[in-house]
Chains A and B, each alone.
Chain A
Amino acid sequence: MSVSQATARLIAPPRLSRRLRAILASAGAVLLSLVVGGLLIVIAGGDPLSAYRSLLDGALGTPYGIGQVLVLAIPLVIIGLGLALAFRGRVYNIGAEGQLFMGALASGVVAILLPVGFGPLLIGLAILAGVVAGAGWGAIVGLLRAHWGVNEVITSLLLNFVAILIFTYVVRRPLRAPGSPDLQGRAIQPEAALPALPDLAVHIGLFLALALVPLAAYVMARTPFGFRVRMLGFNAEAARTAGVRSGRMVVGLMLISGGLAGLAGALQILGVAERLDPGISQGYGFTAIVVALLGRLNAVGVLLAALFIALLQSGGQAMSVIEGVPYAIVLAIPGVFVVFLLIADRLARSY
C-alpha cells in the first residue's frame, strides 16, 4: 500500500452524485457544528439564535464587515492554493507560517529601506522579495527531502520557529519602530502601501488572490506539471519510472508553496500592517492547512473553504462582541466544524 487511499480519494475527481452527497454532508456538518456551538453559547449564557444572527450580521451586514472577511480570506486563499498543490504531490509542508514570516520580512525590508520613489515599482519589488524569501525558506525543506529524504513535516515545522525568531530579531533590533514599547518594526514607506478599495477597506491584493484561483486550477488540471504532481502523490515510484524527476518536483512544490506563503506575508505587510509587525499572522499558515484539506486540494474548493473559515472567524468575533459571549468559543467552532465535516463526509461516502 504505497499510496494513502485517503489522499487518493481527496484527489480523485468526484462524480456528480457523489458531489451531491458531499454537499448534503457538508450541510449536515454545518448544522451539527452550529448545534454544538449553540450549546457552548448557552453555557456561556447567551442566546444561540440571536448570536448566530449577529454572526452573519457582523460578517456580512456592512461593506466594511464583508471587507474584513475578505482581508482574512486573502492570505488563507493564497497559502491554501500552494499547500493544496504541494499536498497533491504528498509534500506535506507544515511550514507555511514560517515561510509567510520570511516573505513578510523580506518584503518589509525592501518596502522600508529601498529608496525607490515610484510606488508601483517599489510594491512590485517588495512583493517579489517576499515571494523569493518564502520560496527560499521552503526550498531548504525541499532540498533536504530531495537529497537525503529528510522528513519534510518535521523540518518545515521546526523552521517555523526559527523563521519567527529571525523576524522577531529584526523588528526588535535593526528595524524597530522608534518609540514603540513592544515588538514592532518600522512603518513601510507610504509609496509601498497597497491601495485599498473604498468602503470595503480591502487592499488590492484581493485581486491577486482571486486571479490565483483560476491559475492554480488550470495548473492543477490542465498542465503536465499539475498532472505530474498528481502522479507523484498517487504513486511516487511509478511517477519516477515514467520519467517524473521526483527530487526536482519536491523542490519545485516547496518553492511554489513557500513562494505563495511568502506572497501572503508580503501582502500582509504591504496591505494590512503597513509595517514590520509580528501581528501580521496568527497561525494563518496552519489555518491554511485546514483550508487546503477542507477544500479537497482543489483550487475552487480552497477559495470556498477560505471564505468560509474567514466568515466564521470574522462573524464569530462580531458575535462575541455583540452578544458578549467569550471569544474563545469562536476559536473552538472551526475545529468542531472540521470534525463534523470529516464525520459527515465519511458517512456520505459509505451510504
Chain B
Amino acid sequence: MELSVSMKAIVKRFGRVQALAGVDFDLRPGEIHALLGENGAGKTTLMNTLYGMLPPDEGTIAIGGREMQFRSPQDAIAEGVGMVHQHFMLVPTLTVAENAVLGERGGPLLRKRDLAAVSERLAELAARYGLDLDPGARVWQLSVGEQQRVEVLRALYKGARILILDEPTATLTPLETERLFPKLRTLAAEGASIVFITHHLEDVISWADRITVLRRGERVGTLRPSESSAGELARMMVGRDVRLMQVVAGERSVSGTKEAPREAPVLSIEGINADGDRGTPALRDVSFSVAPGEILAIAGVEGNGQPELEEVLFGLRAPESGRVSLDGSDVTGTDPADRLRLGLGLVPSNRYRRGVIRELTVAENLVLDRVGEPPFGSELRMNRREMAKQAEELIRRFSIQVSGPDQLAGTLSGGNAQRLVLARVLSRELRCLVAAQPTRGLDVGAIEFVWEQLAAARDRGLAIVLLSTDLDEVLSMADRCCVIYRGRLVAHWTREELDRERVGLAMGGAKEPAVAAPAVASREI
C-alpha cells in the first residue's frame, strides 16, 4: 500500500542546535500514529517540516509517493496536510469562520455572504464529525477544548487528509480527551492519516496504531502498542528507567497527609469574585484555606478560572469582591511585591510569560525577586558576586542543565526553565506556595523532579496550593482537593476520598451530590 507520508533522513539545525539528526518517519493511510519523546526531542520540529513551516536542512519528504519541496504551509495545505499546533494557531480576535478562511486563496472580496457560506460548510463538517461549534463565535470566547476543535475543523475544512496534532490532550479534560480520540478514529476510518504528539503514555497505548519514539533528534524506534508498555516507552524516551508517577505519589502519601499537623491556615480566601480579561465573570464566590504542611489541589479544566485564581492569589488581579488573607492579615489590596515579602511564592502557569525573562541570564533569573535584598546587594548596588554564587548553588541543587550561569534563560528547554523557576521560588523563605500547572508540557523525567520538590517543600511545612489541569498530578500530590468548574469550587475531598473517576467527572462538570460540600471553610482545621 502506498504510504501517505514518507520522510527520509530529515536534518534540521537551529544555529548550533541540531534539532533533528536524520530522522525517518512514515505514515500509512488510515492509521493513528503517535509521536513520543522528551521535551526538546524534536517532535514538533519534525512535524513542522512536514507542514512546510520549516524547510528541512537535509532529507526528503514524499506525500503519497511523490517527493515534495514545501516552501510554506500553503504548499503543504494544498497537498492535504493539516496541523493542529501545540500552541494553537488561532487569531483570538477573529471568529471561527474567519480563522478558517484565513490564508485561503480566492477573490479579493470577503463579503458577509462569503463568510456565511464558509460558516455553513463548517457547520456541516462539525455535524459530520461531532465537533459541535458555533462558526460565528470569536475564538477568545471559546474554551481550550473548543479552540482545539476549531483547529481540527479548520484542518478538515481545508481538506486535510493527513492530520497532525501536536500535544492535543495536554490541556483537555479526561472527558474531552475521551471524546477526541473516537473522532480521530472515525476520521482515520475514512482513510485519513493521523499523527499525534503526546506525553501521555496511556493515550498512546490505548489509541495509537503505531508509535515512533524520538530522543535528542534521533528516532529510537517505531513499534506497536501491543509490543510495548508504558514503562518500556518511558525508558525509550529518556534512555534510563523512570520512576513512574504512582511511585512518587505513593511515597508522598506515606510521609505526607497522615501525620500532617493541622495548624491555623496560612492562606485563606473568602467569597472571591473576579472578572476575566474580557470583563466576564471568571471566579464566583470562591473560598478555601490551606494550612502549613499540606497541599490543597484545585483541579480544573482550562477555561474554568484557574489562571484568574492564580492571579488573584498572588495579587496580579484585583477581585471584584472577597478577601484574601495571609497569616490572618488581610492582603486583598496588596500587590505581588507585598505578598512576596509576606512569604507567598508563585510558580506561574505560564513560565515564559511570568516565570523567566528570556533575555536575562540564568543567574539573573535566579534572583529576579531578590535583587537589592541582602545578600545580593543594596538598593544602591547589586552584588553580582553573591548572585553568581547563589546561581552556582541553585544550578547544582536543582540540576539545571546549563552551560553556565551566564547562559540566557531564553535558550533553556522547557523542563530546565521550570527547574529554574522552582529553584528561584523555593530558595526564598516561604510560608505558602501557589504552584500553577507546575508540570505542564514537561516530560516524565522533569515531572518526577518537580513533584519531588513540591513534596519536599510540603514536608518542610509549607502550605501549598496546587492548581492543575492534570488529573494524575492532582491524584498524586493532593492532600485535599477541590475542583473548579465555571469559576466555582464544586467539590471538596480529602486524600482518602480521592478517586480518579469522581474527580474527572467533576472537572467535566458532572454533579456529584454525595461528596460535594459547599461549606468548604467549615470542614477545615
Contact = CB atoms under 8 A, between A and B. Distances in A.
A228 interface: yes
B371 interface: yes
B380 A223 contact: yes
A273 interface: no
A234 B381 contact: no
B368 interface: yes
B379 A8 contact: no
Interface string B348-388: 10000111111110001000110110000101111000000
Contacts, number: 70
Interface residues of B, number: 28
Contacts of B337: 243-245
Given A224-B372, A224-B377, A245 B335 contact: yes
Contacts of A11: 359
A238 interface: yes
A2 B355 CA distance: 13
Contact of A237 (B353, B359, B372): B353
Contacts of B77: none
Contact of B355 (A12, A238, A243): A238
B357 A238 contact: yes
A242 interface: yes
Given A224-B377, A238-B353, A243 B359 contact: no
B381 A223 contact: yes
Nearest to A218: B381
Interface string A130-149: 00000000000000000000
A183 B342 CA distance: 58
Interface residues of A, number: 24
A235 B368 CA distance: 12
Given A222-B381, A224-B382, A237 B368 contact: no
B423 to A, nearest CB: 14
A241 B314 contact: yes
Contacts of B348: 241
A243 B357 contact: no
Nearest to B380: A223
Contacts of A243: 336-337, 340-341, 369
Contact of B371 (A8, A227, A240): A227
Contacts of B314: 241
A238 B368 contact: yes
Interface string A236-278: 0111111111000000000000000000000000000000000
A231 B382 contact: no
Most B CB atoms within 10 A — which of A227, A231, A234, A242? A242
Most A CB atoms within 10 A — which of B357, B372, B379, B408? B357
A245 B379 CA distance: 15
B335 A223 contact: no
A225 interface: yes
Contacts of B368: 231, 238-239, 242
A3 interface: yes
B32 interface: no
Contacts of B408: 12
A269 to B, nearest CB: 32
A90 interface: no
Given A231-B368, A235-B358, A238-B356, A222 B382 contact: yes
16 contacts: A8-B359, A222-B382, A223-B372, A223-B382, A224-B371, A224-B377, A230-B360, A231-B360, A231-B368, A234-B357, A235-B353, A235-B359, A240-B336, A241-B336, A241-B355, A242-B369
Given A222-B382, A223-B381, A234-B360, 13 more contacts: A11-B359, A12-B408, A224-B371, A224-B377, A228-B371, A231-B357, A231-B368, A238-B357, A241-B336, A243-B369, A244-B337, A245-B335, A245-B337
Which 5 A/B pairs are nearest by Cβ-Cβ distance?
A224-B372, A243-B337, A242-B368, A242-B369, A224-B371
